[in-house]
Amino acid sequence: MCELLNAGSGNPLEQFVLLAKNAKGAAAVELIKQALEAPGVYVFGELLDMSNMQDLENSPNGKYLTLLNLFAYGTYKSLAESSGSLPEMTEVMTRKLRLLTVVSLAEQNKLLPYNLLMSELEISTVRELEDLVIEGISAGVVLGKLDQKRSCFEVDFVIGRDIRKIDMGNIVSVLTAWCDNCDSMLTNIETQVDKVNKEKTDTNNHKAALEQKINDVKQQIKNQPSGEDGDPDSRMETERMDRRDKKAAKGKGLRGSSKSGGSGSFWKQ
């Protein structure tokens, strides 16, 4: 068994699940102890589901199955509530259960005050609490920052814990509601996109129609005949020439009349 446990695995729990297929009675109990103390093992659902583990329920070793359930779903305070029906825990088990309790608290709130953590974990000093959290950060169980000035732990990431089968219905309901909200938001976004596209099309059509009207007017001006109906500058020039010709003709007429009148008077005398 030790050789297999030391062989390594991508999933730290997998080696215990493989061994559980043939472990019964005292061997199953020993396997549970090793899993609860093993570094990197923080989920236990697969092991808990093994038939050989479940067979411990109605045996003298049933308290170890209860302990395994506690690590899978419970918190450190659950330990005090079930102390009479649980086997003695080692220091390594105790620290692991406290870390799992931090995970459960972090799933509910990303800002964890020191006084809350110390109460939930039954830790009496800040130094002990910070050492525990630093251990969890080093193990990758939680990620975040210890803010000593504000006396709190700011959580950035936590691993996921095991989920009870009876909680699956609630999780499915939450995910279904979330999917429905996403669908509703997507529908609203698509509606807004269609509206914007229609307004853009209408604007482009209006712009094209306006440009066409401008081009038509320009073409009409170009096609107009010269003269009175032609270019305004041409008409003005024609009018100036007409006025000049009329003045010239009028001047000639006046000079002719003066000459004729003088000659008649001369001969009459």
Backbone angles phi, psi at 194, to 5 degrees: -60, -40
Q: What is the CA radius of gyration of the chain?
A: 49
Backbone angles phi, psi at 159, to 5 degrees: -70, 165
> Residue-wise pLDDT tens for the chain (269 aa)?
433 444 444 678 898 999 888 888 899 999 999 999 999 999 999 999 999 899 998 889 999 999 999 999 999 998 877 767 789 899 999 999 999 999 999 999 999 999 999 999 999 999 999 999 999 999 999 999 999 999 999 999 999 998 877 666 666 777 788 888 898 888 889 989 988 999 999 999 999 989 988 988 888 888 877 554 555 556 666 677 777 777 777 666 655 555 555 444 444 43
Task: Report residue 216 CA to chain centroid gap.
Answer: 52
Looking at residue 228, the DSSP 8-state letter turns out to be T
> Domain residues of the chain, as ranges?
2-162, 167-251
Look up residue 185 and give its two tokens. 């938001």
Distance CA 121, CA 101 (A): 7
